[in-house]
Amino acid sequence: MAGEMKKQRASWSGKWAFILAAAASAVGLGNMWRFPYLAAKYGGGTFLLTYVVLVFTFGVSLLLLETALGRKTGQSAIGAFKAFGKKYAFIGILASAVPFIITPYYCIIGGWVTKYTAAYLVNGPEALADGGDFFTGFITSNAESYIWMLVFMAIVFVIVGLGVKGGIEKANLFMMPALIIMAVAIAIYTLTMPGAVEGALYYLTPDFSKFSPELVIGALGQMFYSLSLAMGIMITYGSYMRKQDSLTSSVVRIGGFDLGVSFIAGLLIVSAAFVAMGSGDAVAAKAGPSLMFVTLPTVFVDMGGMATFIGFLFFLLVLFAALTSAISLVETLVSIVHDGLQCTRAKALGIVIAFVVIAGAIINAGYNGLSFIEPLGAGSSILDFADFISNSVLMPIVALLTCVFVGWIVKPKTIIDEVRISSKFSAAGAWTIMIKYIAPVLVIIILVAYVAAQFGFFSM
């Protein structure tokens, strides 16, 4: 039966299909609202330089490990670790828990973006630029927020339901180029606004006085989450890779795609927010949803006749980024269920849909019917708790266990041999040092810093 299931396993049509899919997974909401905030907070160019170094050392090393592990075993996370012995399956189970926690709340935020994309056409830019009342009223609503969550989920489920080649590849082939074109176009237009050039200079010019351990930890965390590491996605996507496609060149290009979109998003958003607030410190004070759903609409409304068009185009850009990441999350869940239960792909998708919709409804209720539940203290929500457990706790633990597993148990040569099937891999020695010694230390730093920050012992 296992052999029969393996024969039926989907595969990418080629190397670029994998690169585009993995890059689409990496490019998500974190690029759009977290990266610009961190760049503004930590001296613009100084943060950018640090981020570049980390992406092309730590980031691509872990990307290579996960994709090679997936390709070698032809399995999603649980099966991939279990292939080396049943006692290692627990690492795959922890890795698989991450997308099961993230996907429902990611779809809720995707629903917010979908609502705002439509609202620029239906309500107009003035209605959205009211200082946050529109946003608060929407997310706390007892019906509308659920409807838009379900709309976003439906789009994702349909695309994943069409399969790896018929759905995911085709969607990414359209959305990724469109995303990049829209981001560049809006960034260029934004730079024509009074004060935007000063924002761009602030963003691009290194301020080395801002270099600090906090900056490095912030860049590490952003890179870690942005590249879809330690959540089973890259193992799953690697399992669909053909043996003849180069792993080394693929992961470098994925890192480059993610870095490029982050850079453009930062240029766009920091410049635009600079217009509204006038300083880097003011921009840095706004993070996450408030930057995107409250601050930026006040920028767009001042664009006069172009306000509706630019606002709509921007949120369409963010919607595409959210969709590409949500597709990879749902596909990973389907692959985990498909491999674990040895069932048909259609049945696996049905199980995933039921889980994501129910869990999404419960988490979304944290803003209305269950708003009295504040798991991380006053003002926190169920979504905040799910985000903390998945991103700040589970993901670093999974990455640490994965590095120890490959570096010290099955040995780096296992992965190096897989990589060399299709690549020369002259950097195998440096990669081994990274996985065995450097990466585990960096991951422990991320874990300690984020948990300490959550409980007020450290400022992020």
Residue 141 Ramachandran class (φ > 0 left, ψ -120 to 50 alpha, else beta)? beta
The half-sphere exposure of 66 on its side-chain side, counting CA atoms within 13 A, is: 31
Alpha helix stretches (DSSP H) within 342-438: 345-364, 382-387, 395-404, 412-419, 428-433
Distance CA 278, CA 292 (A): 17
Non-local CB neighbours of 113 within 8 Å, separated by 6+ positions:
29, 152, 315, 318, 319, 322
pLDDT in tens, 127-184: 999 888 999 999 999 999 999 999 999 999 999 999 988 999 999 999 999 999 999 9
* Residue bearing the bigger pLDDT, 179 or 41: 179
Q: Which residues of 43-77 are buried (b: 16+ CB within 10 A; e: fewer)?
A: bbbbbbebbbebbbbbbbbbbbbbbbbbbbbbbbb
pTM: 0.93
The mean pLDDT of the chain is: 91
pLDDT in tens, 384-442: 999 999 988 999 999 999 999 999 999 999 999 999 999 999 999 999 999 999 999 99
Q: Return the closest-CA partner of residue 10 out of 302, 345, 276.
A: 345
Q: How many CB atoms lie within 10 A of CB 362?
A: 14
With beta carbons less than 8 A apart as the criterion, state whether 44 and 267 touch: no
Distance CA 443, CA 440 (A): 5
Calculate what percentage of the chain has a pLDDT beyond 70: 96
Bridge partners (DSSP) listed for residue 206 = 44
Distance CA 220, CA 51 (A): 7
pLDDT-based confidence at 8, cuts 50/70/90?
low
In degrees and rounded to multiples of 5, residue 143 shows phi and psi of -130, -50
With beta carbons less than 8 A apart as the criterion, state whether 81 and 88 touch: yes
Bridge partners (DSSP) listed for residue 44 = 206
pLDDT in tens, 368-383: 999 999 999 998 999 9
Q: Copy the structure tokens of residue 265.
A: 């998003």
* Amino acid identity, position 368: N
Residue 459 has what pLDDT?
A: 64
* Amino acid identity, position 247: L
Written out in words, the top-level CATH class of the domain with range 15-455 is mainly alpha
Residue with tokens 């990589």: 419
Q: Return the closest-CA partner of residue 32 out of 323, 384, 399, 307.
A: 323
